[in-house]
Amino acid sequence: MIDENLTSSHILTLSCPDRPGIVHAVAGALLVAGCNITDSQQYGSQSTGTFFMRVEATTAVPAAELHAALEPVAQAFGMQWNLNPAGRKVRTLLMASTSAHCLNDLLFLQRSGTLPIDIPAIVSNHRDLAGLAEFYGIPFHYIPVTQDTKVQAEDELRALMAEHDVELTVLARYMQILSDELCSDLTGQAINIHHSFLPSFKGARPYHQAHARGVKLIGATAHYVTAALDEGPIIEQEVIRVDHRRTAEQFVQMGRDVEGRTLAQAVQWHAEHRVLLDGNRTVVFN
């Protein structure tokens, strides 16, 4: 008889070429390891021929034994897979420039226990947000960036990531473009918030652009960072309705609220291991 006080919960995520028998094989391996499956979601992409799966399971066996039970199945089906303890907080580096709304939302939600992340540091290319970091008791790192110092700044950033074992980087309105090399190294591990319902209104003053065009919907897009600016795999989007009575300044305020919610939702789904990459798209099990 299994002592329920000794059981632990794990999250298995996987992707592989789609073929018959995957679910049966995974469930069988988990059964052999003494697991009880508490949640299971799967999706087969017809466009890429890839199968995706997310399973939550409890077991009393050590994680090493669970890995050993799953490894033969993973090899047989050519899986890319990860096994994570459920509820483990993801070590997350937050980056911002001068706008505080997205950063403040993430810090508040993390402190209130809503976001399953640990925040070891905040990085900015300005000093404006140092007071906010101090209020939340998070170390603040000022790393200025110019065209001449960009390489050194990214070296300093990489060193900080390594020092704090950073697993996820969140650009909470960080208004600097990361190098192609760094974007590549952070594939699937960095989330950006874009102040529009992509692909509309890129560049500066997006809400003023939208206001000038008389749009009826504004929104925000949270996506993974890639070398192709603002074209990474989309995790979450939200829109709100506006009309001719709204001023450009009201667009900005409404947009900030949407940005904060959208980014926080994307970070939560990533930290709960609900997002899997499917080329330039995502599969989100929510």
Strands (E), 60-188: 80-85, 90-96, 117-124, 140-142, 168-171
Domain 8-85 class?
A: alpha beta
Q: What is the largest CA-CA distance in the chain?
A: 68
**Tell me, what's the pLDDT at 192?**
97
- For residues 186 and 168, give the distance between their C-alpha atoms in angstroms, rounded to a whole number: 8
Neighbour tally for 267: CB within 10 Å: 29
Q: What is the pLDDT of residue 6?
A: 59
> Could you tell me which of 157, 246, 234, 249 has the C-alpha nearest to residue 191?
234
What is the structure's pLDDT at 2? 44
The pLDDT value given to residue 199: 52
Given a contact cutoff of 8 angstroms between Cβ atoms, the answer to whether 229 and 208 are in contact is no
At residue 200, the pLDDT reads 62
User: Which are the catalytic amino acids?
Assistant: 230
Asked if 254 and 246 count as a contact pair (C-beta separation under 8 A), the reply is yes
The DSSP bridge partners found for residue 31 are none
Q: Residue 195 has what pLDDT?
A: 79
The pLDDT of residue 202: 67
Q: What is the pLDDT of residue 198?
A: 47
- Nearest CA to 223 among 279, 256, 263? 263
- Residues of the chain short of pLDDT 70, as ranges, are 1-6, 197-203
What ranges do the domains of the chain cover?
A: 8-85, 90-284
DSSP 156-209: HHHHHHHHTT--EEEESS--SPPPHHHHHHTTTTEEEEESSSTTSS-SS-HHHH
CB 122 within 8 A of CB 133: yes
Per-residue pLDDT reduced to its tens digit, 47-79: 899 999 999 999 999 999 999 999 999 999 999
pLDDT in the model for residue 90: 98
3-state secondary structure of 68: helix
Homologous superfamily of the 90-284 domain (CATH): Formyl transferase, N-terminal domain (3.40.50.170)
